[in-house]
Amino acid sequence: MTIEQLWDEPLNGWMKGEGPDSDIVLSSRIRLARNFDQIPFPNRASDEVLANVMAELRKSVADLSNQDNRSYLFIDMEKLEPLERNVLVEKHIISPSHVQEPVNRALIVRDDAAVAILINEEDHLRVQCLLPGLNLPETLALANEVDDILEARHSFAFHEQVGYVTACPTNVGTGLRASVMIHLPALVLTKQINRIIGAATQIGLTVRGLYGEGSEAVGNIFQISNQLTLGQNEQEIASNLQAVVKQVVGQERAAREALLRDSKDMLADRVWRAYGVLRYARSISGQEALALLSEVRLGIDLNLIDEAPPTIFNELLVISRPNFLQKVAGIAEIHPAERDVLRAQVIRGKLTEFKGGNKDA
């Protein structure tokens, strides 16, 4: 992988693979928070300390590459253009808070972006692993492997009673946040989603929008994650979430079947209208694009639309984000109205690439 591919290609390597239930679950993610012993956490560290942490962790790049025969890149956040940093956020490689202060912040990323290590975010390092579909146990295994490789060189802060210590006490213990990104159009359409969000909250899970803390659930995409990091071990946290999500997937499938059975014509009309707008619109906002893409994906999943492959959804999800759009077009500054025109144009171009059989034609 060259560094450019991170920005120029909409799909990261890991996204090209297939995973269990990947028609509904877009990705499984595991994040481990780790810190160095005695060294002030990033919120209290001087520039010098932060620079040392960066230099120290840079040494692990070679260890990682040697262990799993993949190439890893070390990226100094300060050396990136703001636009490039924002594209990494849009692609879920780094968190929104990692771009707020780029000085002395860094990223180690595997060639397929399945592994990303954020340096000097809220904690000294956060190991993030992403795999397609609903596959938390395997994602956890990968994160543990990376953690072990890092630990072979570095000594992480560990408290005998409370476990791995973190800047924020909500992450202490395992330092583990497991989450899945899940597409639930039928549960939204049948107005069952609030019930499910309520139930998930009661058993210690959090349900949020596409870009994490405080973001809206645009495009019917939700993130479900564990709230507590202490008390249960890593495998328990991952398998609990896996079991709950499995049930949500079942509910979504049942809702889809019910929709198809009871109101197929309405549904077909709805998803084809969404397709029509995307296919012919001359200006489209990011929000509208996401909402319509979600409907088109539902249409593809239910075999109502066969003019485009399901992967188009994941691809256009990234392509239609403002910073990616701008980066690929190679424009430094763009007016929002012009960006909407550009977005419509790119989406039209993508959809014309596929001219499969049309069931109704």
Partner 1 sequence: MLCDDCQKRPASVHITQITNNQKIDKHLCNQCAQAYGDIAFSLDSKFSVHDFLKNMFYSGAAENVPAKSGKACANCGMTYHDFSRTGKFGCSACYSTFGDHVEPLLRRIHGVSTHTGKLPRRTGATLELKQRIKKLRNDLERHIVQEKYEEAAKIRDEIRGLEKELLSPVSEEGNI
Contact footprint for partner 1 (CB under 8 A): 35-41, 43-44, 122, 144, 147-148, 151-152, 155-170, 172-174, 176, 194-195, 197-198, 208-209, 213-216, 228-234
| Environment class of 228 (CB within 10 Å of its CB; exposed 0-12, middle 13-18, buried 19+) | middle
Query: Where do we find the tokens 């999943």?
Result: 301
Query: In angstroms, what is the minimal distance from the CB of 13 to partner 1?
Result: 27
Query: In angstroms, what is the minimal distance from the CB of 97 to partner 1?
Result: 10
Query: In angstroms, what is the minimal distance from the CB of 156 to partner 1?
Result: 6
Query: In angstroms, what is the minimal distance from the CB of 44 to partner 1?
Result: 4
Q: Nearest-CA neighbor of 274 among 250, 251, 256, 291?
A: 291
Query: In angstroms, what is the minimal distance from the CB of 322 to partner 1?
Result: 17
Distance CA 52, CA 151 (A): 17
Looking at residue 190, what DSSP letter applies?
A: T
By C-beta, is 48 or 353 nearer to partner 1?
48
Query: In angstroms, what is the minimal distance from the CB of 89 to partner 1?
Result: 15
| Environment class of 190 (CB within 10 Å of its CB; exposed 0-12, middle 13-18, buried 19+) | middle
By C-beta, is 74 or 158 nearer to partner 1?
158
By C-beta, is 28 or 35 nearer to partner 1?
35
By C-beta, is 74 or 211 nearer to partner 1?
211
Distance CA 243, CA 350 (A): 36
What is the edge-to-edge ordering of all strands in the sheet holding 25-34?
A: 72-76, 106-110, 115-119, 125-132, 25-34, 176-183, 221-226, 205-208
By C-beta, is 46 or 263 nearer to partner 1?
46
Cα torsion for 212, 214, 220, 223, to the nearest 10°?
A: 30
By C-beta, is 230 or 254 nearer to partner 1?
230
